[in-house]
Structure 1
Amino acid sequence: MAVAGCGTHTARIIDRSGATVSTADVLTEVEWTRLLDDTSTARVVINPDGNCCERLGRVRSWRHKLMVYRDGEFVWGGPIIQAEWSLGQVEIAAADVLAWLDRRVPHQDIEFGDSDLTDIASWLIEDGFAPDDPGHQVEVIAPAGVRGAREYRRDVGQTGDHLRDLAETGLDYTAVGDIIVLLPETHTASVGRLTDADLPDGLVVAEDGTALATRWIVAGDDEGDVLGEAGGADAYYGLLERYLEQTSIPDDASATAAARSKLRSSLPVPVFIDSQQVTISPQAAVSVPKLVPGWCVDVTSATTCRTITQRLKILGVKVTETGGSGNTPGSESVQLQVAATGAETA
């Protein structure tokens, strides 16, 4: 059985060509994250030794990538977006492979008919990287199960924004290294189990009423020519209506499908669990590299007044290691945010 363990990190900086610019074995701070439906980040503070200092002086944003390893296993990678050199240390900040899509636009006009959202997302990604690919893969776990039409115009809008719009209406995605993973919002495969014993410093259970809606209206324009809706007054909550406009939706049927997806994920009230920036026990029955947003963990907790025994979706992962030196590993903290939404309840 896999356990979380206490990891030690190393890092490497590589060029677009794949050549190693510098290793970064002496790390005093490491932080890497994974996020659902957005771009994650990483940060390292390096104490350069020997000729490592000269090599680190050549680091350039967007030209070079940061690669992070936990106990020798690759866990995070992406373009460097900021570097700071100071006396005795170099601090590097990076974003994952999705960051490039926030610097890309559609490169041709296209109209999708009745298509699964994963097919549309795959096209957006491949088109975004087509003129200049720094290295990426797309892995489709399963179709989204939400279908609709979409239209994109050459040079209109950032590709990353178009991808986030799809994620609002029935698709999940995340980045793991160079792999962009596409999966349905209803994906419920579990990668481990957590109990109160695995969270010795406690957790917070929060109900997010701001995300609740009992009726969704989705429009393709602000004129009301393309419109879809789902839901209505709820016997328990009453009527709470939300409106969303996405100009890439060209017809009423697609807008209705998007509204149904939004309703599924916002009714009942989403419940979130956060481990309060504390360390998951090293004996917890989870493998840290396998904590990927979009997958689930089974959580059983009775330490708060809101008892939880449920399979919950991973929304975010944050791993930090601090205080390390060349001979002494630092202390690692693994923070996990999970949630129960209408999709998981269904």
Structure 2
Amino acid sequence: MLRFSALLLCWGLLPTVLAQPYQLQVLADKLHYPWALTFLPDGDMLLTERSGTLKRLSPEGDERFSIEPDLPDLLKASQAGLQEVTLTPDFATSQRIILSYACGTLQANNTCLVSAELTDAGLSDIKKIFQAQPLKAGAAHFGGRITWLADHSLVLTLGDGFDYREQAQNPANHLGKLVRLHADGSVPADNPYVAKEGYAPELYSLGHRNVQGIFYDAASQTLYSHEHGPRGGDELNIIRAGANYGWPVATEGIDYTGARISPFSHYDGMQPPVWGWSPSIAPAGMTLYRGSLFRAWQGNIFVAALAGKSVRRLVLENQQVVQEQTLFSELQQRIRDVRTGPDGALYLLTDSQDGQLIKVLPAD
């Protein structure tokens, strides 16, 4: 078991961020670019690897099964592959899960969703329920994170396809958008643009770059997401139905060439972020901590960072970030996902070809 003590690394911020001693326990290793984690009612975990593998693990990290589900047109290349796994709200009776993944070919692809029944041995009755449009070339910026709203509709994050950033402002397609769907892939009748000509009916919000973190806080009825900027300009946003989040018209980031993407960091009619990172930390998974083990972390947001090789703890007051703390940088690993477990522990996935599942517990 690895043991570390959390250190305050946010010099210059408000002094009320207190160190919370913790220990790190590696539950599983030799994972091939693990991407997402979710928890089953019996305490087991489902874990995805970008290479196309779905694993079921015991609470102790022992492997119950490891399968490569038959996902229609799965694309594996660069950032493309298997992504999110989540349980449907009626899982207790239906045993169904949702998976997101990159689908198509290098010349024609986008993000897909499937619904499947979880069995003791793997998956059955796999059905494709959504494919983002249009199909585009390349293997970058797929989004792929999922959260469930209070009405049991799901919100799926989508990327701009990297080379198609102007399309994030085109309401007729799904590039650089969040979409809202029912669990069967159908479109909710109260989506903000469902009956508006020239708008894709699935749209929930637009003007995003590559959203790889999202959660819904039922207590405050607030939907949070974050997204990658280019060089700088990573954003944490509060999502409101029908709103425009600015990309690429308004951004704090610059292009990888050093050129300015836009003269505007803010623009009328477009929502500014509630927090940002420049230089980029490359935010990945995200969770809201409501567990019982870490009192000092109650109600805090935890953001996994790839380039930042850490997890950022954000302290909120009135839906505004007032403090930030850097955690787990001693691992010196790209962190792909961070989740709150039903036991109150935090769980981390490290992003590498020899990735790990790490459990964060209070120090003894």
Q: Please state which band the TM-score falls in when normalised by the shorter chain.
A: under 0.3
TM-score (norm 2): 0.26
Relative to total residues, which structure has the larger helix share, 1 or 2?
1
TM-score (norm 1): 0.27
> Looking at CA atoms only, which structure, 1 or 2, has the larger radius of gyration?
1
